[in-house]
Amino acid sequence: MDPLILSRIQFGANISFHILFPAITIALGWMLLFFKLRYNATGDTAWMRAYFTWVKVFALSFAMGVVSGVTMSFQFGTNWPGYMETVGNIAGPLLAYEILTAFFLEAAFLGIMLFGFRRVSNRIHTLATVLVAGGTTLSAFWIIALNSWMQTPVGFEMRDGVAHATDWWAIVFNPSMPYRLVHMLLASGLTVSFLIAGLSALRYLYGDRSESMWKALRTGVFTAAILIPIQIFAGDQHGLNTLEHQPQKIAAMEANWNTGPNVPLVLFALPDEAARENKFELAIPDGASLILRHSASGVVPGLNDYAGNHPPVFPVFWAFRIMVGTGVLMLVVSWSAAFFLKRRHSLPRPLALVMVPMALSGWLATLAGWYTTEIGRQPWLVTGVLKTVDAVGPVAGSQVALSLAVYLILYALLLIAYLGVLVYLALKAAKDGDTSPLPGVLDAPLSQPAAK
């Protein structure tokens, strides 16, 4: 097969697998800090129990993130040498800063955060948690800066076919960067909230009514209920930003074939790229014009303006709809759960049953969102600078096929094992309830604040 398409599938598979774990660790770090600070403030050991349950998930997710991240740093060279040859002067420093300022901060203090509770003072342990959480977020900052620059490149000039930086401030804070960063950080927050809420709901269904379960459940549900409307607003702003800087992506997301006013909002369709039209279209009249231009007669860009130079319509159109649909579902579930927890101090069983599969809704929405924006950037690797086809390396298709097949099998197995362990940890916590011994918390009055 063609090494280009195989390399693309392989990179897509790797980065899809990778993003699942940072999506958890970025926000879970802060969530753990919250548990820790609540414990520091109240001395309530249930907070520490929640911390210890979720720090294991953090450790596992972090390990998965590290190993799949190492893979990424090699693949730039093995599969996409043209990328660094063309824009290395800009991508290089951003990647370097990601590794330097962030990766190390996380990796070095992780040991203390995970295993150091009984070895260092409570203050240092809290500090280690802060640094790990800050490190994951800084990591996200730099990598999002690079990704956004590839979407909306500015602050550089081309000399002999190679990009040279002229304004680093403009490169880092490029037009789409603030929107994408906020959107991604909120996505991570939602992923973790639903994961915690979902696994706590699983514990609830297994009869666990322990204080640590309630605390985790409430934290997950309330955080989700607060973040989801903010995320919907941030996503809308990001869409308007994309309309300004990458109109062809919006045209594909809306499956709008012709530029013009009064563009409908397509709810369902099977976009047919050969015929350049939508099959089985179900649409709200003037909807897209209203959302994107705030006027029924607003002109929305269409794919006809970008013939041969726009992304494949079908995957972008559907990935976007899956993301938005999941978001709406998240709003409904988190607000209902928040209502019952706040007003009734209980959780109806059917709602708990829905919340368990919703534990993975964050992953689904995050992946769908990234597919929208990354496939939506095609055929460009760096918009207007480098096409994906020109970056692929001189490796034989058979070699890429071999590595791709093994990666796919490996990732599938690891994902199954990962989810298996999450469920096992949740059920184990459900069985232990508030009874498991906490030697580090209960028996160390000298180094820890006295427990209640």
Partner 1 sequence: MTLDWPTLLPLIFAGLMGLAILIYVILDGFDLGIGILFAAAEDAEQDTMIAAIGPFWDANETWLVLAVGLLLVAFPLAHGTILTALYIPVFLLLVGLILRGVAFDFRAKVPAGRKHRWNRIFFLGSVIASLAQGYMLGIYVLGLDVGLGGMAFGALVALCLAAAYAAMGAAWVIYKTEGELQKKAVLWLRRALVLTALGMVAVSLATPLASPRIFDKWFVWPAMLYLSPLPILSAVLFAWLWRQTFHLPKADDRHSLTPFLTLAAIFTLGFAGLAWSFYPFVVPDRLTIWQAASAPESLAIILAGTVVVLPIIIFYSFYAYRVFGGKATDLTYD
Contact positions with partner 1 (CB under 8 A) in 34-53: 48, 52
List binders of partner 1 among 285-324 (CB under 8 A).
none
Q: How far apart are the first and last CA of the chain?
A: 65
Nearer to partner 1, 318 or 363 (CB): 363
Question: Per rule CB under 8 A, is residue 233 in the interface with partner 1?
Answer: no
Instruction: Give the residues across from 165 on adjacent strands.
Output: 156
Residue 345: which region, alpha, beta or left (left: phi > 0; alpha: psi -120 to 50)? left
Nearer to partner 1, 281 or 432 (CB): 432
**Residue selected from 158, 267, 417, 419 as contacting partner 1 according to rule CB under 8 A:** 417
List binders of partner 1 among 387-406 (CB under 8 A).
393-395, 399, 402-403, 406
Q: Which two tokens stand for residue 411?
A: 């990732």
Give CA–CA dist 45/355, Å, rounded: 26
30, 133 in Cβ contact below 8 A? yes
List binders of partner 1 among 190-209 (CB under 8 A).
none
Q: What is the 3-state secondary structure (H, E, C) of 202-248?
A: HHHHCCCCCHHHHHHHHHHHHHHHHHHHHHHHHHHHHHHHHHHHCHH
Residues, the chain: 452
Q: Rounded to a whole number, what is the largest CA-CA distance in the chain?
A: 75
Residue 311: C-alpha distances to residues 2, 10, 37, 249, 386 (Å): 19, 19, 46, 7, 15
Nearer to partner 1, 121 or 346 (CB): 121
What's 299's DSSP letter? Answer: -
Piece of the chain touching partner 1 by CB under 8 A; list 102-110, 242-250, 272-280, 331-339: 102-110
Nearer to partner 1, 210 or 326 (CB): 210
Q: How far is the CB of 438 from partner 1 (least distance, A)?
A: 5
Contacts of 194 (CB under 8 A, 6+ apart): 220, 224, 330, 334, 355, 358, 359, 360, 361, 362
Q: How far is the CB of 298 from partner 1 (least distance, A)?
A: 42
Nearer to partner 1, 251 or 382 (CB): 382
**Residue selected from 331, 414, 423, 451 as contacting partner 1 according to rule CB under 8 A:** 414
Question: Per rule CB under 8 A, is residue 59 in the interface with partner 1?
Answer: yes
Contacts of 60 (CB under 8 A, 6+ apart): 418, 421
Question: Per rule CB under 8 A, is residue 424 in the interface with partner 1?
Answer: yes
Question: Per rule CB under 8 A, is residue 165 in the interface with partner 1?
Answer: yes
Nearer to partner 1, 96 or 270 (CB): 96
Question: Per rule CB under 8 A, is residue 101 in the interface with partner 1?
Answer: yes
Question: Per rule CB under 8 A, is residue 62 in the interface with partner 1?
Answer: yes
Question: Per rule CB under 8 A, is residue 117 in the interface with partner 1?
Answer: yes
Contacts of 275 (CB under 8 A, 6+ apart): none
Total residues contacting partner 1 by CB under 8 A comes to 75
Piece of the chain touching partner 1 by CB under 8 A; list 34-42, 159-167, 236-244, 306-314: 159-167
Question: Per rule CB under 8 A, is residue 70 in the interface with partner 1?
Answer: yes
Q: How, if at all, do strands 156-159 and 162-165 pair?
A: antiparallel
117, 440 in Cβ contact below 8 A? yes
**Residue selected from 229, 285, 379, 420 as contacting partner 1 according to rule CB under 8 A:** 420
Question: Per rule CB under 8 A, is residue 164 in the interface with partner 1?
Answer: yes
**Residue selected from 116, 315, 397, 433 as contacting partner 1 according to rule CB under 8 A:** 116
Give CA–CA dist 307/229, Å, rounded: 36
Q: How far is the CB of 341 from partner 1 (least distance, A)?
A: 27
Piece of the chain touching partner 1 by CB under 8 A; list 101-109, 230-238, 305-313, 358-366: 101-109
Question: Per rule CB under 8 A, is residue 421 in the interface with partner 1?
Answer: yes
**Residue selected from 168, 206, 268, 339 as contacting partner 1 according to rule CB under 8 A:** 168
Question: Per rule CB under 8 A, is residue 100 in the interface with partner 1?
Answer: yes
**Residue selected from 67, 158, 284, 296 as contacting partner 1 according to rule CB under 8 A:** 67
Nearer to partner 1, 67 or 332 (CB): 67
**Residue selected from 1, 5, 41, 63 as contacting partner 1 according to rule CB under 8 A:** 63
Gyration radius (Cα) of the chain, Å: 23
Instruction: Give the residues across from 382 on adjacent strands.
Output: 386
278, 239 in Cβ contact below 8 A? no
Question: Per rule CB under 8 A, is residue 232 in the interface with partner 1?
Answer: no
Q: What DSSP element (H or E) covers 102?
A: none
Q: How far is the CB of 56 from partner 1 (least distance, A)?
A: 6
